[in-house]
Structure 1
Amino acid sequence: MNPVSSPSSRGLQYDLPNESDDEDFEREVDEQGLIEGDFTLRAVAVGLGVGVILCMTNIYFGLQTGWVSMMSLQSALLGFALFKLLPHLKTLFPNSRPLTPQENVVLQTTAVATGTMPLAAGLVGIIPALEMLTVKEDGREPIKLNYGQLVAWCLAVAFFGVFLAAPLRRQVIVKEKLVFPSGTATAQLISLLHKIPPPSQNPKSSSSGTYRRLPRTSRSVSPPGYAVEEDETNGQRQAAEKDSEVMKGSGWWALGWSFFASGSLTVLSFLFPVIFAIPIFDVFSLPFGTSLAANWLWWFTPSLSYVGQGIIMGFPVTLSMNAGMLVGWAILSPLSKHFGWAPGPIGSTTNGARGWILWVALAIMIAESIISLLPITISSISTFVRHYKQRSSGPRIFQPTSSPRSNVTEDDYYDPLDENDDEDPENEPPERLVPMSWIKIGLVSSAILGVGLVWAVFGKDGIHPWATALGLVLASMLSLIGVRALGETDLNPVSGIGKISQLLFAVLQPGNVVANIIAGGVAEAGAQQAGDLMQDLKTGHLLRASPRSQFYGQMIGSLASVFVATAGYKFYTSVYEIPGPQFAVPSAGIWLNLARLLNNGELPERVIPFMISFGVLFGTISSIKAFKHYLPTSVISKSEKWIKYLPSGIAFAIGFLNSPSFSIARLIGGYIAYRTSRNSSNGETPLIAIVIASGFVLGEGVLSIVTLSMASSGIKAISCFGCNIAGGGYCSGGC
């Protein structure tokens, strides 16, 4: 996902959250200024509730377009809104104090762990791909797992990434202070919601006096330990003031109305399917006796959720996506059909134009994924070599710290590579960290559990136990690269990691399409989960939430999502045809086609020159972006203006995978983000736009559960008017 432009909230005087009227109310603060008791029943319970919503939303969007988001911003916003708008929540739990920022961190951590299982377990990719196997092309029947088998598979991949993330925290967050843009943005949003000073990248400066209660007459003054910076620009101040005003009232109305509008349109489109498949482009083709909608999949879907996604993605990403859509669906698709390279129906992923252009998209994604991994790989290797030389050059000398507690313990993650004065030591006491003994036991146990369950589910005709174990080892190594890339760019190259695993297993288990898909899924699951949870740990680090509390939330959320995600996937597949007109499952096509290519070596007619051409083009573009920092400063300053206009290869390829309707709606949202950011005093997307976008996304995601229930109950569309124009069959929902 593209990093969300986060609201700037620096340079303001902050009120403390409205606390209880009881003058004796005091937060539990220890001598270091750390909030205790952030792992609470209410935070976990509401986090699970929000996570269930996000999980079902991600299944819906993932099966539709392959788009899945960790939604950490939405989790924090929705969790806070529930406590704000539903006061009786406070009385349902023994602890009736207002929700603290640290509890909100645990809440959104639990929600993210629950909501991202559809991608981690491959429910929107590898599981549908296994169901699309054919005897003719793959030599075996489709693999359709029942509920128990699917639960076992999810359990196999649910925890390994959690144990991978915990030991990396100290190195990439505490010592190297990688940005993790989404995690930082979430921390800024939480600070704004709870009316506390914005988090500092250097927690050492705020390690004392945090959140102590001020006298009632002094609550308009910043709490001790935080100095309000006086040198901020007027634009930043104005933006912060607007953001503060938004979250006092208008923001909640905007969230509610955007949620209602998106949800209402979703239900309405179920009753009148043509609303989500408007054949508006037929005006260009009817004089020629054809229909762009019926014959070429060109219709318009006025989905507010995709408009919201476009706002969150930003204009550059949506522009790249629509450029890919035009090249794929307006040029290459007609070309492949006209010359007979793709003789089947346009929407077919096997012998149709959709399947033909999918190969070109695959070449683009592989080229960009591999190139984008090179700089971070080179950097990681050089850093490791440098630290190895430092360690071997002589004994290490530990510098004393001013903390009353030692940073270095026998049960800590691992000792820092060096202890220079300008590096932050661990700022958390040992009792708030996850002990290394837990990590070792967890990694070994989750690996054994994973290997055993995968063998039990797929048997000897699937993947050998040693191959699954090797996939987990590969996930461990590649997740280090993925986490660093995520910390620096906000992009986790999990698609490249999965494809690298597929390439390796084409050699280790040749001719076995099932093993190839599963091995890629295992490697991708560990890397994706470790990356997403690292964003949460960054949020907790900035807001001084306990890493151990977040670890508990991650484990609970992952366990709950095993059953929630499985039930949701089974619910959707029992009601809708997958793949089908409404749920094309583009990610499954990518997984299956690459596995077939690596094991059978067959490609559609004349697609190879286009794959090579586009692969080289976007490999070159990715190289320019990835290695621009190695150029002389004078060259960088001159080239920066035009480099930023180069398209994103992954976004460009997604334009190929999804039918035009989804890309066009996202472009509308991207343009809204562009216009609002230009009118903003600080040049960033205003918070109110992000709030509205969140409402749009959540509205359709939540109400899709309602329409799913209606469809499963036998309720059909009220009217199919407009769905059969020019012989169309592009409407769904019972028509």
Structure 2
Amino acid sequence: MEIFNDLQEDISTEHAFEAEPVPSLSETITPRSLVFSFIIGATLSVVAMKVTLSSGFILSLSIPAGLLGFYVSRAWIRILDYFAVSHLPFTRQENTIIQTCVVACTSVTFTGGFGTYILAMSKKAAGGDVKDDNNIEEPSIAKMITFLFLISFAGMFIIMPFRKIMIIRHRLTYPSGTATAHLINSFHTPQGVKQARNQVTLLFKSFGGTMAWSFFQWFFASGPGCGFKFFPTFGLEAYKHGFFFDFSMANVGIGMMCPYMIVFSMLIGSIISWCMIWPYIQTKEGIWYPSNLGPDSLSGIRGYKVLIGLSMILADCLFVFLSIMVRTACAMVKRRQQASHGVGGGGGGCNMQQPFQCLDATDRPARSFDDRRRAQVFLRDEIPNSVAIGCYVLLSVVSIVAIPLLYPQLRYHHVALIYLAAPIFAFCNAYGCGVTDINLGSTYCKIAMLVFGSWIGVKGGGVIAALVAGGIMVSILGTAADLTQDLKTGYLTLTSPRAVFISEVIGMTLGCIINPTVFWAFYKMNPSAAGGDMSDTPYAKLYRGFAMLSVGEEGLPGHSMFLCKLFFALAMALSAVREVANRKQWRVRRYIPSTIGMAVAFIMPPRMPVGMAVGSLVAYLWEKADAARGRMLSPAMASGFICGDGLGSLLLSTLTLVHATAPICIKFLARGDNDRLDAFLATLPAT
């Protein structure tokens, strides 16, 4: 929270930049900023794709995007200075454009559904639970690119008419956008330049080390079950239950970035599910469910994992959704009352605890110099509301005609209904995100899946229709919330909203081409990295299971619905207790696990939470030893781990494509198995 405390200081940010003129649109969106955006966006898209496919996590890449944009641009300027080539100075507005463009490009990995609804349509995700091909859609790169271009831009246009209401009139905080703006502003001060240099140096060191480690591991993984990835860290018995450290540096990096409570909750959830619940249910094989089913069948053990985890996620989403709706309504009523009485707003009484971050740092009785200057720049370059609404209508018409041609399971009137309802939900989601910093696009996605899946039914291809409808909704709503966050960043860095919007469009365009290509590379070169082993894509299983529930698909294992209701009630109670504890400031609040963290662990293999716990432990010990350097440098090191692991996976996929095989297989066996292996090898003739 130090970032937001800094923002409340009396020192004026804009006084420090008062001598610098505000650049024009052509000086903000420059060729060099677009080139750097493409390079960094393509690199981080590989990283985001690897993380999304392997763990389902949605990482914010604002920190590495801002760091790399600043560092690469400064390095380019030094090169030009060395050769005495004239150039314009690198400004914070250009840094904002690069960051916006890169984040827009990488966000398509989530809104595009590569680890969720796209993969959930595939035959591998369906397992043996599909009776006809009408509920199967194998990934196709041409279809994915076309679909993304149809759905990815509407959310930007529909939210633009509300930008003044949210940022100028209601002065919503948008904590992530505010934090990013603070980071960019600090980069362009003398102290910030030194700090950024240290962060980027560490980022590249961890990046290079992780790449080298990934390549080193490959030499010992010549077959199934070979390599350090299968090292039984806590013994063979724990290994059988999935508890071991697989040396995945991406999981370590994620753990360094995640809050400690989330990682702790995931460990608790893994222990409860993989050590207690699933072993008990496996003893009921042949009683509760048939014993001849494969591991991918929803009628078997996988059905319990998906349905119980899904019920807990829905309970948490429902609780958060209702709480945010109430909170948002109260905030709007309060501001209306203050406006009618001529009061500027005090912003007191906000609870700073998760998951409801209400940081009313911008609610001040009088408008400061910073506010006046920022509002002047924000209102100077406008996109007419008529143009934005007209573009949304045009995109809607094109999608209504084209999407049913790509996915015939969803008819024209279904798509039309989605685009009619989307503006209302987009405003609610963007407003709630400004108050709470929580993007509920995935929650609205599940609502859309439930509505359209039950409407169309399994015989009409309702599983695919539900997934496509959810994809349209999450793309529109997610893009709208992301743009408002970026507009807030632009507002605080004196970047023209028109420039922010254009850079968002450019970044989204790049993302609609780069991300399907990256996904296809993973999917074809190394199937295990993109769905060949569905245990590594937990959210694809969740989305498939929810779509099948929405159409009323039969064949679920025995007692599964009872267990779903039980765990739904338990999750709802846990969410309520956690919120009350935060409100009342109970001491025990720090030890109440997160519902969503536990729910994901019910599906995710335990090795992922174990790797994340290692990362959290590293970050914790680092902050204990040196709090200032730990907080400043740990995000950079984590970013290097994640980037290096992602690009290392792409390198190994390329080796698979050229049919390169590792020379060595290293395996870990029990003593008895090793004795039997030695005895067998002794019977073979000597070579």
* Shorter-chain TM band: 0.7 to 0.9
2:561 alignment counterpart: 608
Contact 2:243 2:610 in 1 (8 A): no
Task: Check the 8 A contact 2:112/2:471 in 1, yes or no.
Answer: yes
- Taking a change above 3 Å as real, the CA distance of residues 184 and 390 of structure 1, as seen in their structure-2 partners, is closer
Q: What are the within-5 Å matches in structure 2 for residues 261-280 of structure 1?
A: 261-273=209-221, 274-280=226-232
Residue 132 of structure 2 corresponds to 139
Q: Could you say which residue in structure 1 is the equivalent of 2:551?
A: 599
Q: Which residue of 1 aligns with 2:685?
A: none
Please name the residue that 1:361 is paired with. Answer: 309
Answering whether residue 279 of structure 2 is matched by residue 334 of structure 1, we say: yes
Where does residue 207 of structure 1 map in the other structure?
none
1:160 to 118, 137, 154: 154
In the alignment, which residue of structure 1 is the partner of 2:389?
Answer: 440
Cα distance in 2 for partners of 1:4, 1:138 equals 55
- Are 2:65 and 2:102, in contact at CA under 8 Å, matched by a contact in 1? yes
CA distance in 2 between counterparts of 1:548 and 1:149 reads: 31
Aligned to 2:110: 119
Q: Out of 630, 638, 644, which is 1:699 matched to?
A: 644
Structure 1, residues 224-275: CA drift from partner, whole Å, max 9, x if none?
xxxxxxxxxxxxxxxxx7x775434x33331121111111122223332344
Q: d(CA) in 1 for partners of 2:402 and 2:416?
A: 12
Q: Distance in 1 between matches of 2:208 and 2:55?
A: 23
Alignment of 1:138-287 (within 5 A): 138-140=131-133, 142-195=136-189, 246-248=195-197, 250-273=198-221, 274-280=226-232, 283-285=235-237
Q: How does 1:36-115 map to 2 (within 5 A)?
A: 37-87=27-77, 90=80, 96-115=87-106
Distance 1:355 1:82, change over 3 A: farther
Structure 1 Cα separation of the partners of residues 234 and 591 of structure 2: 32
Matched, 1:570 2:516: no
Q: Is 2:127–2:296's contact at 8 Å kept on the other side of the alignment?
A: no
Give the CA deviation at 1:40: 1.5
* 1:34 Cα deviation from its structure 2 partner: 8.8
Q: Unmatched 5+ residue regions in structure 1?
A: 20-25, 197-240, 286-291, 400-418, 630-635, 729-735
Matched, 1:667 2:613: yes
Deviation of 1:519 after TM superposition, in Å, equals 0.9
CA contact (8 A) 1:373 1:493 kept: yes
1:548 CA displacement: 0.8
- Cα distance change of structure 1 residues 553 and 724 upon mapping to structure 2, 3 Å threshold: farther
Residues of 1 paired with 2:557 and 2:3: CA distance?
A: 41
| Residues in 2 aligned to 1:500 and 1:519: alpha-carbon distance in whole angstroms | 10
- 1:514 aligned onto 2:504: no
- When residues 284 and 12 of structure 1 are mapped into structure 2, their CA distance, relative to the original with a 3 A threshold, is farther
Decide whether aligned partners of structure 1 residues 583 and 618 sit closer, same or farther in structure 2, where only a CA change above 3 A counts: closer
Change (3 A) 1:625 1:168: farther
The alpha carbon displacement at 1:330 in A equals 1.3
* Cα distance, 1:300–1:456 mapped onto 2, change above 3 Å: same
What residue number does 2:267 align with?
Answer: 322
Note closer, same or farther for the CA distance 1:645–1:438 as it changes in structure 2 (3 Å cut).
farther
Deviation at 1:361, TM superposition (A): 0.8
Asked whether the equivalents of residues 324 and 432 of structure 2 are also in contact (C-alpha less than 8 Å), the reply is: yes
Identity %: 21
CA distance in 2, matches of 1:279, 1:517: 37
Show the counterpart of 2:422: 475
Tell me what 2:678 maps to: none
User: In 2, distance between residues paired with 1:574 and 1:93?
Assistant: 47
Q: Judge conservation of contact 1:73–1:185 (CA < 8 Å) in 2.
A: no
Q: How far apart are 1:370 and its partner, in Å?
A: 1.0
Matching residue's letter, 1:331: M
Q: Which residue of 1 aligns with 2:347?
A: none
Q: Secondary structure at the match of 2:662?
A: coil
CA distance in 1: counterparts of 2:5 and 2:620, whole angstroms = 15
**Are positions 1:310 and 2:255 aligned together?**
yes
Q: Contact 1:361–1:653 (CA<8 Å) still a contact in 2?
A: yes
Give the C-alpha shift of residue 668 in structure 1. Answer: 1.4
Worse overlay, 150-159 or 373-382: 373-382
- Cα offsets for 1:586-632 (capped at 9, x unmatched): 21111111111121343322222332222112212323455678xxx
Q: CA RMSD in A?
A: 3.8
Moved more, 113-122 or 505-514: 505-514
Q: Which deviations, in whole Å up to 9, do the C-alpha atoms of 1:525-549 show, x marking residues without a partner?
A: 1122222232222221211111110
Paired AA for residue 361 in structure 1: G
- Please say if residues 53 and 537 of structure 2, whose CA atoms lie closer than 8 Å, have aligned partners that are also in contact: yes
Answer with 702-711 or 312-321: which moved more.
702-711
C-alpha separation between the residues in 1 aligned to 2:128 and 2:9?
65
Q: State which drifts further: 361-370 or 429-438.
A: 429-438
Does the Cα contact within 8 Å between 1:155 and 1:450 map onto a contact in 2? no
Are 2:24 and 1:29 aligned?
A: no
Give, in angstroms, the shift of residue 331 of structure 1. 1.4
Indicate how the Cα distance of structure 1 residues 606 and 440 shifts in structure 2: closer, same or farther if over 3 A, else same.
same
* Count of residues in correspondence between the two structures: 632
CA 703–596 in structure 1, closer or farther in 2 if over 3 Å, else same: same
Q: Distance in 1 between matches of 2:482 and 2:228?
A: 32
Q: Is the 8 A contact 1:35 1:102 kept in 2?
A: no
Note if 1:528 corresponds to 2:474.
no
- Provide the rounded CA distance (Å) in 2 between the counterparts of 1:4 and 1:709: 43
Counterpart-to-counterpart distance in 2, 1:109 and 1:562: 15
- Rate the CA distance shift 1:559–1:4 in 2: closer, same or farther, 3 A: farther
Equivalent residues of 2:121, 2:138 under 8 A apart: yes
For residues 465-488 of structure 1, the C-alpha deviation after alignment (integer angstroms, 9 at most, x for no partner) is 121222233433333333234333
C-alpha deviations, 1:565-593, integer Å up to 9, x for none?
A: 12112222112334223873221111111
Q: Which amino acid aligns with 2:588?
A: W
Q: CA deviation at 1:387?
A: 7.8
**Pairing of 1:490-639 with structure 2 (within 5 A):** 490-511=437-458, 512-577=462-527, 578-581=530-533, 584-602=536-554, 603-626=556-579, 636-637=583-584, 639=585
C-alpha offsets along residues 100-153 of structure 1, whole Å, 9 cap, x if unaligned? 111000001000111111211212211111113468535325212433222111
3-state secondary structure, aligned to 1:717 = coil
- In the superposition, relative to structure 1, how do residues 100 and 724 fare at CA in structure 2: closer, same or farther (>3 Å)? farther
Preserved contact between residue 64 and residue 582 of structure 1 (Cα < 8 Å): no
- State the distance in 2 between where 1:566 and 1:549 align: 26
Question: What's the offset of the Cα at 1:84?
Answer: 3.2
Is contact 1:161-1:525 (8 Å) kept?
Answer: yes
Greater Cα offset, 54-63 or 174-183: 174-183
Q: 1:722: Cα distance to partner?
A: 0.8
Q: Partner letter of residue 509 of structure 2?
A: L
Letter in 1 for 2:559: R
Higher helix share: 2
Q: Classify 1:472/1:327 alpha carbon distance in 2 versus 1 (closer, same or farther; 3 Å).
A: farther
Letter in 1 for 2:560: V
Q: Which amino acid aligns with 2:568?
A: G
Q: Residue 93 of structure 1: CA displacement?
A: 13
Question: Residues 373-384 of structure 1: matches in 2 within 5 Å?
Answer: 373-382=321-330
Is residue 721 of structure 1 aligned with residue 666 of structure 2?
A: yes
CA distance in 1, matches of 2:673, 2:31: 56
Q: Aligned equivalents of 1:188 and 1:384: distance in 2?
A: 26
Q: Give the Cα separation in 1 of the matches to 2:641 and 2:10.
A: 29
Q: Deviations over 1:687-714 (max 9, x none)?
A: 1111111111111122222222221111
Where in structure 2 are there 5+ consecutive unaligned residues? 345-363, 675-687
**TM-score between the two structures when normalised by the length of structure 2:** 0.82
d(CA) in 1 for partners of 2:184, 2:366: 31
What CA distance in whole angstroms lies between the structure 2 residues aligned with 1:644 and 1:473?
A: 42
Distance 1:701 1:154 in 2: 23
- Aligned pair in 2 of structure 1 residues 670, 346: CA closer, same or farther (>3 Å)? farther
Alignment check: 8 A CA contact 2:170 2:335 kept: no
Separation (CA, whole Å) in 2 of partners of 1:446 and 1:543 = 31
Distance 2:438 2:46 in 1: 23
